[in-house]
Amino acid sequence: MSVSFQQISAFKSYSSWAKDSVFQFVRPNSTNTNNRSARWTTPSAAIIPNFHLPMRSYEVKNRTSTDDIRSLRLITAIKTPYLPDGRFDLEAYDALVNMQIEDGADGVIVGGTTGEGQLMSWDEHIMLIGHTINCFGTSIKVIGNTGSNSTREAVHATEQGFAVGMHAALHINPYYGKTSLEGMVAHFQSVLPMGPTIIYNVPSRTGQDIPPPVIHTIAANANFAGIKECVGHDRVKTYTGTGITVWSGNDDECHDSKWDYGATGVISVTSNLVPGLMRELLLRGKNPLLNEKLLPLIKWLFCEPNPIGVNTALAQLGVVRPIFRLPYVPLPLAKRVEFVNIVNGIGRENFVGEKDVKVLEDDDFMLVGRY
């Protein structure tokens, strides 16, 4: 077959496709008078749902149902510890997850804000999700933070997360660049087909609230498990009143959100330190005395942006090395002294680890900028 014939055949094939396609090409100098007065309209017909099909599997042997995720009450946003060169300290990480299992946590968020997913490459991120599933997937639910402000990245990371076995995904709305409400819906609908999904609303970090109309729209999807809500009690009540599962995203509000406003539970930072007490707070009925006892610790943890406080605390408890990936740095000495007093007030036996709590000096910490 000659090169010329191949080119002509390809052109004919292209012409036939273009004629039948939803994508129509209009020549600017067309002699067709009907085109001269035609008005431009949004090419909505060119948007093809699931044109790039998600790499989902319908094998159900080891799958977790959306209802299983909805039943989780205490979910810990697990800390990621580091070695001196900035790589993951998997030995310390495994110990942290084991302590969560032993003290009754129902699930862990891997690579969330607390776990510093924002400082990970996607390779690191998916590796840690896979490692957690392989080691602990039969003992605790593993929820991978595969959200992104880029829909393309969120789709790809979520495909990979479910491929390595995570039980559910956590998704944030597109931050920084933001989008319209319609764009939020389209973003979430791009990832929901892949498996059980928790939506995360934290306007203080994203700069944009996810309003109830968006959640009510995507709630029709069978894979929508619920929402981690940080706006407050009134918003929690808005959802629980319509049957939507809510986890409080604020440790200082989770007791009241659970017992007075109908929240299922909490996705917690504080439970990295006192998982047993946080479980008691959520499972054994209203306990304002315990809630009041924990508030000074919670206030201390969030005196600077999370995860600075929890990183400092776990280092002082001796369960992780005092190593920070920049731009995070430890809390100042006065706060480290305050933490020791808080631990002694609540009782060292209620905190993770077995070593005595210490006031670490500035020189004890290592800050890693390249890893």
Q: How far is CA 75 from CA 37, 97, 217, in A?
A: 60, 12, 25
- Rg (C-alpha) for the chain, rounded Å, is 25
CB 184 within 8 A of CB 200: no
Residue 345 CA, chain-centre distance (Å), reads 32
% helix / strand / coil in the chain, to the nearest 5?
45, 10, 40
The position carrying tokens 């597109």 is: 174
Residue 351 DSSP code: S
CB 146 within 8 A of CB 158: yes
For residue range 277-335, list pLDDT tens digits in order: 999 999 999 999 999 999 999 999 999 999 999 999 999 999 999 999 999 999 999 99
- Rounded Cα distance, 251 and 241, in Å: 21
pLDDT of residue 11: 39
For residue range 150-183, list pLDDT tens digits in order: 999 999 999 999 999 999 999 999 999 999 999 9
Its pTM stands at 0.85
pLDDT of residue 320: 98
Other CB atoms closer than 10 Å to residue 81's CB: what's the count? 23
Higher model confidence: residue 53 or residue 271? 271
Q: What is the mean pLDDT of residues 43-66?
A: 62
Q: Where are the alpha helices (DSSP H) in 164-253?
A: 181-191, 203-206, 212-218, 233-240
The letter for the amino acid at 280 is E
pLDDT of residue 52: 54
- Rounded Cα distance, 70 and 264, in Å: 8
- Please count the CA atoms within 13 angstroms of the CA of 361 that sit on its side-chain side: 2
Percent of the chain at pLDDT exceeding 90: 82
Is the model's pLDDT at 116 over the cut of 70? yes
Is the model's pLDDT at 60 over the cut of 90? no
pLDDT of residue 5: 43
pLDDT of residue 50: 52
- Rounded Cα distance, 339 and 297, in Å: 8
For residue range 206-245, list pLDDT tens digits in order: 999 999 999 999 999 999 999 999 999 999 999 999 999 9
CB 138 within 8 A of CB 146: no
pLDDT of residue 63: 75
Write out the catalytic residue numbers.
200, 228
Q: How far is CA 234 from CA 171, 208, 209, 352, in A?
A: 22, 18, 14, 33
Q: What is the mean pLDDT of residues 43-62?
A: 57
Least confident of 35-39, 58-62, 140-144, 215-219: 35-39
- Rounded Cα distance, 369 and 228, in Å: 31
Is the model's pLDDT at 22 over the cut of 80? no
CB 321 within 8 A of CB 336: no
Is the model's pLDDT at 51 over the cut of 70? no
